[in-house]
Chains A and B, each alone.
Chain A
Amino acid sequence: MELTAADRALLAALADGLPLVARPYAEIGRRCGLDEQQVLARLRRMIAAGVIRRFGLVVHHRALGYRANAMVVFDVPEARLPEAARRLAALPYVTLCYRRPRRPPLWPYNLFCMIHDKERARVLALVAEAAEAAGIADLPRAVLFSRRCFKQRGARYGSPVTERAA
């Protein structure tokens, strides 16, 4: 489906999430020039079309005690990538699974996934298990644990171009 200007305005109005008031869709509508029923209808349409993949609470896993957060990356030959990615994505503890470009020599990895747990050792065990399950335990990989989180929020898609304050 093609997004209309009104859809984009609605997504922009939703960037910081639903306000915690009794009629939140009406409030969002006020911010983007739609009425409550139009907001609900457009959201339903974007969800049905798959433009909105998920609509609901976005939780910060760190605040829930998941302090061991790893970006796990593999260098997978093209022929093996679709099957490996499909198997990785099916594991319950893998959140997100993406193909991205390699940038050799600094960055040789092309398959990315995230694994979160409460203990670092547990994450490392899950990484080994995931690599086996995906049939890529023989391939080069790296585990990039996060140290500090400097920023975390939703995207402002559709927002007007803004100049960064000096």
Chain B
Amino acid sequence: MDRPLSELEKRLVDGFQHDFPLHPRPFAIIAERLGTDERTVIEALEGLREAGVLGRIGAVVEPHRAGYSTLAAMQVPAPLLPQIANFVSGYPEVTHNYEREHRLNLWFVIAGPSRARVAAVVADIEYRTGLAVLDLPLEEAFHLDLGFRVQWN
């Protein structure tokens, strides 16, 4: 994203990462709180989405309550990394996929409706790539997710 955010956009990012209004017209409620109108709020959110700032307005679900997920890591030879990374991203169960600075250079999250489904994806990736997948499921969460506090300066 290359453009600076407007004051309205900053207030949306700061104010509505949690406790989003559970009301039939949530954008009208937000507009009322921010002293603008519903149409302007919706357009600002569309702008944030186009800028890549807004992923979605949604539910962050407690791990392993509505499904199962794991963090997986692979050691991929550098020349193969783009190809393997794109292959891994192609699984609908893979939600996040990053190259990281480590011998284990590809890190991704696999989330699915069941533990068995996630295990099947891990096994399938190992089978199709011929590379080992380190499976690092969450054992305990210590953080209460309140969103991301942005420093605007």
Residues on A close to B: CB < 8 A?
3, 7-8, 11, 14-18, 20-26, 36, 40, 43-44, 46-47, 50-65, 71, 85-86, 88-89, 92, 94-101, 103, 106-107, 112-113, 116, 142, 144-162, 164-165
Contact = CB atoms under 8 A, between A and B. Distances in A.
Given A144-B107, A150-B86, A20 B45 contact: yes
Contact of B147 (A8, A56, A99): A56
B65 A20 contact: no
Interface residues of B, number: 85
Greatest chain B CB density within 10 A among A100, A155, A161 is at: A155
B138 to A, nearest CB: 5
Nearest to B73: A107
Interface in B1-15: 1, 5, 12-13
Nearest to B53: A63
B33 interface: no
A96 B12 contact: no
Interface string B101-113: 1111001110111
A158 B117 CA distance: 11
Interface string B39-62: 000100110110111111111111
B80 interface: no
Given A51-B61, A52-B61, A26 B95 contact: no
Q: Is the contact region of chain A dominated by helix, strand, or loop, or is it mixed?
A: mixed
Contacts of B56: 16-18, 58, 153-154
B141 to A, nearest CB: 6
Nearest to A149: B98
B115 interface: no
Nearest to A11: B66
B67 A22 contact: no
Contacts of B92: 156, 159, 162, 164
B66 A51 contact: yes
A15 B57 CA distance: 9
B142 to A, nearest CB: 4
Contacts of A65: 1
Interface string B133-145: 0111111111111
